[in-house]
Structure 1
């Protein structure tokens, strides 16, 4: 049973198949180029696409739009302190703005930055500042069928090996992404957070947590880690962040907001440097690219995100989608993560070779069949990496209902039943290969 009721509705429409095929061709077989109104069920991302609560909308009405010293910023800072345990906060327009601010003052030429798995913008920001982003997932993470409660964990021994090879002085930060988005949204255990803290101390490196889905991760810790089973999820969420020196946060995920993000740090000197960089790239340190009303909505959303009722509804909906896809024979990464189901497109379309992008092909065929938009997180999005051909179906928070999910399942099954054999090739891509999936154009082969 949902822990909420709907008080606003937005009409959506399923275009005729011929129109969908034309839209796909005009978009260069890249669903980022589709108009949102031409999409029936949009699972491209859970970032900023969720439904805000009545309390958040009420807070927006009272948003303080002052350039400096905004009351809404104080509300946000208080919420970050209460929910996440950080007093020093630098607001940004969204998560990648936070990455730009923090990594711009932490990372230099020749540095090496380990992460359980870097997401696309994280990888790009570290590389942009001259660093080398290195993925260090645990061994079972690359196996979609492997059992494991916390397949999102960082392989700390792998980081130690890197430190021995390059020298600890070249590792200014160790990053832990909660949950591990690029590794099928898999959670990270509290024990692994503690181990990462010890590792950072050994290396004299900053411990940074990408906290975009910190609340969902805390719910998995409560469910799967016996030592924390009887604790409130809000308490778990705060403890897992207490080990970090700094956070980067997209409020568009577990801030339950449509815009915004922030950097939070403990060190006063790092705080001052981050503020100065934020002034250059984001805005004054008491708004940072956000309207006052957005900060007000996020302050409410952070508190709502760590309630057990909300999280149970959220995570169970994602699990139900995964269960239904498996029942219909659609191969997925297991266990299902907290914000999305990841289809194993390499298995779903076995006749398409890797060089013809089976993941991106599945994304396009899913739209062709049912107007459903997902996103490829395989060889197209992460060139040069050895990872499964995954397609992420990310569920916006408090937005879709079971009927929509059934349509997604039917569309995915229809793709498999057609036995697609034609893949795709790139015809145009940007210079920054790490971000090519946002704008590159393809064609069928």
Structure 2
């Protein structure tokens, strides 16, 4: 059983309750893609933890103090001071969200034909690399490949592979470490691995950056799992992690617990000057970057709240509780459990569906049909290689479903409902149908594709 949530509920929103008939109709109209569903037909929304969290009373109060001056607003100075104190970076630019920070950094740093190395690129990061005519290459550690092991830091980068890549013929422009490793099952990266990867990168003269959307959750798991950090606070771990890197791109819609916002933080003054030009051209003046003053104020407050140990403990225990419910239902998940999401092993639950029928997607669809639960597939639909007709050429290594937990939104009883729906599916998994693609966008296909069931 988890501990109780360390907050009181002050404002509530009605949850849509729908019928099976309504959900079937909605899903068909959406081309069987959960991203195309309207919110008013979703009962429990676990599609993403990005921008879906609940604001605190202090964040709301801070928003009322927002200074909407175009340049040099007080709210920017508070934002900058909080970020600088946390990260130690001298050059800080707000942007409207994390992918904008990626676009600015990659547009400044990357040249066509170069390579970016990572423990695992997430979807929009990979797309932004490829849009620059570059290659995004993942180097996950060996432990990542064993979904059932309890290895504590399966989000680490493979250091030997990193050394080999940096010593090889490819022109590597950047090493980007994602913390936590979202594409790798929400697993954390150890401080030892961060330091070693940074040292290897610098020895080869390659910038070392963090994709730090979930920096606080990574820090929490370090305090729980890495020897030598058991007496550190999450804030101390986070500060140390940022100071290892040359810079960071951050989606603040995650661990700043706000609905919009991102930042680009840099150590190199010359790179900062070049990036600033793209921020001004594409996002807004350097002191607001496409955000309002109230957004900047709420971000600053959220960055102070997110490293509180009791908040992080309760959040981690909530996800662990959902993992226990899934296990009781007979549904395996990636071990050990991370913080921001639970990753279900759909391939194991639905062995009657080959990868070409997208078992991860099929489980995600069934969760919606049976319970109005929206979630995301991380399997062959998202990661597999397809031919022009939509046939699967190379499947993903695993067929996973991500149940992303919004921050401070759902209670224990909501998660118990999700567990009940999972149990109902697991009683007779053979009835879950597979799917085939009918429309295939050329980029980020999982956001806009359309599918049809296959009996």
* Alignment partner of 1:42 out of 37, 42, 45: 45
- Tell me the residue number matched to 1:112: 115
The Cα shift of 1:421 comes to 4.7
Distance 2:187 2:65 in 1: 37
- Tell me the residue number matched to 1:442: 451
1:388-445 deviation digits (Å, cap 9, x = unpaired)? 111100000000001110111111222222323521111012122xx00001000011
- Tell me the residue number matched to 1:401: 411
Deviates more, 1:376-385 or 1:301-310: 376-385
- Tell me the residue number matched to 1:365: 366
CA RMSD of aligned residues (A): 1.1
The Cα shift of 1:190 comes to 0.5
1:188-215 deviation digits (Å, cap 9, x = unpaired)? 0000010011111122000010010000
- Tell me the residue number matched to 1:266: 267
Distance 1:397 1:152 in 2: 21
* Alignment partner of 2:65 out of 62, 76, 97: 62
1:161-193 deviation digits (Å, cap 9, x = unpaired)? 2233324xx112111000000011000000001
- Tell me the residue number matched to 1:12: 15
- Tell me the residue number matched to 2:78: 75
* Alignment partner of 2:440 out of 429, 437, 440: 429
- Tell me the residue number matched to 1:32: 35
SS of residue in 1 equivalent to 2:431: coil
- Tell me the residue number matched to 2:197: 196
Q: 1:87 to 1:163 in 2, by over 3 A?
A: closer
| Contact 1:351/1:421 (8 A) holds in 2 | no
SS of residue in 2 equivalent to 1:387: coil
- Tell me the residue number matched to 2:431: 420
Distance 1:382 1:111 in 2: 21
- Tell me the residue number matched to 1:97: 100
Residue 337 (structure 2) pairs with residue 336 (structure 1): yes
Distance 1:412 1:328 in 2: 6
- Tell me the residue number matched to 2:249: 248
Distance 2:101 2:331 in 1: 36
- Tell me the residue number matched to 2:182: 181
- Tell me the residue number matched to 1:22: 25
- Tell me the residue number matched to 2:319: 318
The Cα shift of 1:107 comes to 1.2
- Structure 1 runs, 4 residues or longer, greater than 4 Å off: none
The Cα shift of 1:84 comes to 2.0
Distance 1:130 1:203 in 2: 22
| Contact 1:92/1:262 (8 A) holds in 2 | yes
Distance 1:136 1:299 in 2: 33
- Tell me the residue number matched to 1:166: 169
* Alignment partner of 1:140 out of 130, 140, 143: 143
Q: 1:197 to 1:290 in 2, by over 3 A?
A: same
Distance 1:323 1:97 in 2: 37
The Cα shift of 1:306 comes to 0.9
- Tell me the residue number matched to 2:389: none
| Contact 1:349/1:420 (8 A) holds in 2 | no
- Tell me the residue number matched to 2:286: 285
- Tell me the residue number matched to 1:376: 377
Distance 1:278 1:378 in 2: 34
Deviates more, 1:192-201 or 1:79-88: 79-88
| Contact 1:93/1:282 (8 A) holds in 2 | yes
SS of residue in 1 equivalent to 2:300: helix
| Contact 2:362/2:432 (8 A) holds in 1 | no
- Tell me the residue number matched to 2:298: 297
Unaligned regions of 5+ residues in structure 2, if any? 386-394
